[in-house]
Structure 1
């Protein structure tokens, strides 16, 4: 565990140190986002922060390749190098969008090509742990893998609308999934796990970037960052769940067989929910699924009265509840987890709605007082007319 923490620190440190240089570079080459109608920020802010995150991730992975504990992950399989190559390509595609605002169809085509390349390189969903293994054909494996990667990339991209929101949600999900993958790896002869390694490096770059991206942000991650994070968290999930045999992980004691599928979904629950709601909303209006609007979850949080920081922290809380609540099933009885999650849900609901209620309750009181005043006035008029 200490080695993983050290790798996360390396990733975070590199990202934190190099991000100011990336900000300067973004300003020099014109990667500065204009203020659009749907944006929350009010001044042009440089983007392309994903480049700093990529360098932090690659630095941590190269460092891990030299450690005795994790070097076998790089020597025994080329999966790690495929993941790193895909990370470079997806970040470059995002940088192109940060610079030139690519058409959404062109961008998605690029995402799909990169996802197919990564799947063809060996990062595939080979089997699905559904109580028994379901082995897929190579073509089906590549198709499923590419679809998952593209969907996750765009889910994180959709939720990237407030300073620190996307990186925080991905870091929270990454922590939950890293704990899970580490537990599974302990049942193998070597504790080293490629899924855990990718997760901890990803967590490190998220934390390192948040230090520069907290409101008011000095730099945005841009599509180069949001696409990279969506790609990495999906790669970690595929590395572990795609080849996992439930019979080998002592599911009867700690690890229910449905968790390899359930947890990756819950880790990205908020981004996927936001993406699905946006697609349905836009199609219902006859618009493109990628048509921008101000109806995302974070926009709704601001609309009911949250500050930017308050909205981000509240959505972090929901992400933590979903990710860690599902993880607790591995350690505690289901009814205790259900009770705890119900209590936490009530608390988070109150926190979420508090700004709205804070402003709405006085308005309701004023309306009631006005109605009562009118009623008294009517009663007084009726009394006077009766006397006459």
Structure 2
């Protein structure tokens, strides 16, 4: 095994990723003058989503340079096919970051890239079919972990370290090359995607990470010696990613939701609902992933019996059951009941206008007899003419006629007495 070549490629991937990520971070945070309202914010979001391309370029450039320099002379075709398939998936992810694509197109591209990898490795038809299914499944399972700051980066770093250790046990430089550069690239990108994240892996970095891990594991299992328990050890390295996928699918099916519709129901989302911080969720899930990765590596090395893998698997199943008990969806809003009056053919009569307030007048002490008030009412034609023979202070109706209220308590009012005197 070319140990110096693997170490040099890892260091190169680390420095390339750090330099590119720093430049991308400055470009994303640089103030711009938008051509239209909201243009600056949308451009910054696009740059942050595409930040994972820096980790992809760092890992792929270092691995390609090491392959060109002869660091993987034992199986150059397998490494070339692995890099070509991972690069194609990453390019499709970058397009998806800029303009979302449909799930059918993405699955077709991932299947074609996985078929390219197994064809370059020269697998048998049955092993190739199983490897393609495994690669597509694990690629999407790891891509789903990119739902919190630093989560996928930390879990991918732990998983890549486990694959690197398994490849180093066999002395396989070709299959150790991409896990080494991927682990270094994710380590250089971790600072920028940690909470609060300035850059994100996005679909480009997430699919490249998942594809590289899944394809490296499949090829490593195919090339493992006969004495290795690779059939049990290597699938255990993807325990947390598969657990998150199972959690999402079961939860959405129980809630009657589509499994393809994204929602806040992943592992980190549920941990946040029980008051775990965002960095705490990333650390907790990374430690969770470290248990099956360490156990699988020890089983692959022959230091543990494969039965010990049942311990992290049982713990993962119990954790999924516990996370399912945490509510992930808001209860549906009750529809407001509206009572509609039945329509009839008749029209509602118009509401009459309220009568004008009658002015309150003081009773006249010692006024005329009621008979005089009656004569005033009989001869009211001249007294009630609009604008004629009306006292200046008399209240008027809407037609301009003076208002003479009935005398309170049997006594004529002052206005009635004045009208009687003038008649």
| TM-score normalised per structure 2 | 0.65
Task: Answer yes or no: is 1:5 the counterpart of 2:4.
Answer: no
The question of whether the paired residues in 2 share the 8 Å contact of 1:98 and 1:223 is answered with yes
Aligned to 1:50: 52
Going from structure 1 to structure 2, the CA distance change for 1:283 and 1:85 (only over 3 Å counts) comes to same
Q: Distance in 1 between matches of 2:215 and 2:81?
A: 10
Pick from 119, 138, 143 the counterpart of residue 157 of structure 1.
143
Task: Answer yes or no: is 1:295 the counterpart of 2:265.
Answer: yes
Aligned to 1:370: none
Q: CA deviation at 1:201?
A: 1.0
Task: Answer yes or no: is 1:92 the counterpart of 2:78.
Answer: no
Q: Distance in 2 between matches of 1:32 and 1:263?
A: 45
The question of whether the paired residues in 1 share the 8 Å contact of 2:150 and 2:190 is answered with yes
Q: CA deviation at 1:145?
A: 2.3
Aligned to 2:376: none
The question of whether the paired residues in 1 share the 8 Å contact of 2:72 and 2:177 is answered with no
Aligned to 1:221: 201
Please show how residues 55-134 of structure 1 align to structure 2 within 5 Å.
55-67=57-69, 70-73=71-74, 77-120=76-119, 122-123=120-121, 126=123
Q: Distance in 2 between matches of 1:77 and 1:197?
A: 11
Q: CA deviation at 1:181?
A: 1.5
Q: Distance in 1 between matches of 2:21 and 2:176?
A: 24
Task: Answer yes or no: is 1:146 the counterpart of 2:147.
Answer: no
Going from structure 1 to structure 2, the CA distance change for 1:239 and 1:193 (only over 3 Å counts) comes to farther
Structure 1 gaps, min length 5: 36-42, 127-135, 186-191, 252-256, 357-388
Going from structure 1 to structure 2, the CA distance change for 1:4 and 1:117 (only over 3 Å counts) comes to closer
Please show how residues 1-388 of structure 1 align to structure 2 within 5 Å.
1-23=3-25, 46-67=48-69, 70-73=71-74, 77-120=76-119, 122-123=120-121, 126=123, 136=124, 138=125, 140-185=126-171, 192-246=172-226, 251=227, 257-258=228-229, 260-329=230-299, 330=301, 332=303
Q: Distance in 1 between matches of 2:85 and 2:27?
A: 23
Helix, strand or coil at the partner of 1:200 = helix
Q: CA deviation at 1:235?
A: 1.9
Q: Distance in 2 between matches of 1:311 and 1:88?
A: 30
The question of whether the paired residues in 2 share the 8 Å contact of 1:157 and 1:227 is answered with yes
Q: Distance in 2 between matches of 1:148 and 1:332?
A: 26
Q: Which has the larger share of helix? A: 1
- Cα deviation 1:218-241 (Å, max 9, x = unaligned): 111101011000110112112221
Helix, strand or coil at the partner of 2:144 = helix
Q: Distance in 2 between matches of 1:184 and 1:50?
A: 31
Going from structure 1 to structure 2, the CA distance change for 1:123 and 1:276 (only over 3 Å counts) comes to farther
Going from structure 1 to structure 2, the CA distance change for 1:33 and 1:324 (only over 3 Å counts) comes to farther
| TM-score normalised per structure 1 | 0.70
The question of whether the paired residues in 2 share the 8 Å contact of 1:174 and 1:233 is answered with yes
Structure 2 gaps, min length 5: 327-423
Going from structure 1 to structure 2, the CA distance change for 1:288 and 1:57 (only over 3 Å counts) comes to same
The question of whether the paired residues in 2 share the 8 Å contact of 1:11 and 1:201 is answered with yes
Q: Alignment length, in residue pairs?
A: 308
Going from structure 1 to structure 2, the CA distance change for 1:101 and 1:245 (only over 3 Å counts) comes to same
The question of whether the paired residues in 2 share the 8 Å contact of 1:177 and 1:263 is answered with no
Larger RCO (CA within 8 A; separation ≥ 6): 1
Aligned to 1:383: none
